[in-house]
Structure 1
């Protein structure tokens, strides 16, 4: 994923210089995106983001369209929506911590193997 971002940044730098026309750079962007989506890891990450966001908005829609009447003075819809958002944020933070620990352990392994 980092290699793709570097390539897209390079295209941006080339388009701002006088060596390549901005029009040609504009034609290269869609090709670079198409090429990046042909990679299995990028495609899987893209679809994971799409599916998780669809689930999130579906759950928010279910909360918003709930016809069950709460008791007077109760904000159960808002509480449920805030609880859903806070759960998603906690999951994202936890996943980042797991990813970081995996990256650290891989780094230690490569240093030890050298």
Structure 2
């Protein structure tokens, strides 16, 4: 099933708006770490949890290198084989609506 993978950060208005828009459209998304529902994709480089902070720092480096992103949220639209169909940063309600319509037509 085509779905979105969200990378967010705490206290991020655009991140919250993205999630809220997806939920209002029934858009399938995951925001956890490879299906581990105890670990979310929230990037928090100031976390007091050393493990979370270290993961966040590495994730920021990886996302910058691989996707050249400069802001969060970062959204990837992927298929069942984890092929990336689209990606973007920031709150883009038009992109969310566009992909929601594509999913509805399937």
The structure, 1 or 2, with the larger RCO (C-alpha pairs under 8 Å, 6+ apart) is: 2
TM-score range, shorter chain: under 0.3
TM-score (norm: length of structure 1): 0.22
The structure where strand makes up a greater share of residues is: 2
- State the structure with more CA Rg: 1
TM-score (norm: length of structure 2): 0.23
